[in-house]
Amino acid sequence: DAGVTQSPTHLIKTRGQQVTLRCSPKSGHDTVSWYQQALGQGPQFIFQYYEEEERQRGNFPDRFSGHQFPNYSSELNVNALLLGDSALYLCASSSRPTGSVGRGTEAFFGQGTRLTVV
Amino acid sequence: AQTVTQSQPEMSVQEAETVTLSCTYDTSENNYYLFWYKQPPSRQMILVIRQEAYKQQNATENRFSVNFQKAAKSFSLKISDSQLGDTAMYFCAFMKGYSGGGADGLTFGKGTHLIIQP
């Protein structure tokens, strides 16, 4: 089992450019979440995808968008990059519980993409 | 909105000692989950332990255990017989329980840098 894989591992972009980050979930997982982790901080939730739709979103501007493909892999797109977008971007996968209230599932994380905006 | 607070930016203990990391959270939810994640220099978030809020019994995983005080909204992590490989950033995280309509992402604290000295 390859676990959660993210690409690329490192990326340098210029302010104003656009970037696409990719994530393949752990085998058997159908839900993908994206997080932004600034240096010295805890990760912050960007959004979550399930059944190819954005299901939940954190407090991030519309410059941050995503996509989920039929094979459950996902992309994170960031437009009009700002210096403040420099961070580690983490992808986490999980599986939707089949039960109702009271069922939860762990999120498995990839190693992240380090984005530097110059 | 939920908040998670980790008041210890850094802790250092000798190998084989026991160490406790603190976490408090604020929520109006009754159904939720709490997690401790470890992030070594490799950057990958690794789940250490989880606790369902509806369970009164504290979770344990080998050398790792939690002290979950629901009324006080406190969720501390105890590491017994600490090892050099335990050196990492530790993040406390909160997740609302599933209610049929989907789940929010994780809300993380700012982390505690734990250093195990030989």
Lowest mean pLDDT among A14-18, A21-25, B6-10, B104-108: B104-108
In the prediction, which pLDDT does B104 show? 67
Between A96 and A42, residue with greater pLDDT: A42
Digit-coded pLDDT (tens) for B60-78 = 999 999 999 999 999 999 9
CA distances in angstroms from A111 to A10, A89, A93, B47, B70, listed in the order given:
11, 9, 12, 13, 32
The nearest CA of chain A is from the CA of B34 a distance in Å of 10
Interface test with B, best of A29, A48, A98 (most B CBs within 10 A): A48
Q: Find all residues with CB under 8 Å of A31, minimum gap 6, and list them.
A: A25, A48, A49, A50, A55, A93, A94, A95, A96
The CA angle A52-A60-A76, to the nearest 5 degrees, is 40
The pLDDT of residue A8 is above 70 = yes
Chain A CB contacts of B52 below 8 Å = 102, 104
Q: Distance between CA atoms of B50 and B64, rounded to whole angstroms?
A: 11
β-pairing verdict for B64-69 and B60-61: antiparallel
Q: Distance between CA atoms of A58 and A78, rounded to whole angstroms?
A: 15
**Backbone φ, ψ for residue B101 (5° rounding):** -100, 10
Q: Is the Cβ of B105 closer than 8 Å to some Cβ of chain A?
A: yes
Digit-coded pLDDT (tens) for A62-100 = 999 999 999 999 999 999 999 999 999 999 998 876 544
Chain B CB contacts of A111 below 8 Å = 42-44
Q: Distance between CA atoms of A101 and B98, rounded to whole angstroms?
A: 5
Between B55 and A43, residue with greater pLDDT: A43
Quote the percentage of chain B above a pLDDT of 90.
77
Digit-coded pLDDT (tens) for B79-98 = 999 999 999 999 999 988 76
Give percent helix, percent strand, percent coil of chain B, each to the nearest 5.
5, 50, 45
β-strand partners of B52: B33
Tokens matching residue A34 = 């994206």
Chain A CB contacts of B91 below 8 Å = 42-43
Amino acid in position B54: Y
Cα four-point dihedral sign A90, B7, B29, B66? positive
In the prediction, which pLDDT does A84 show? 97
Q: Is the Cβ of B56 closer than 8 Å to some Cβ of chain A?
A: no
Chain A residue closest in CA terms to B53: A102
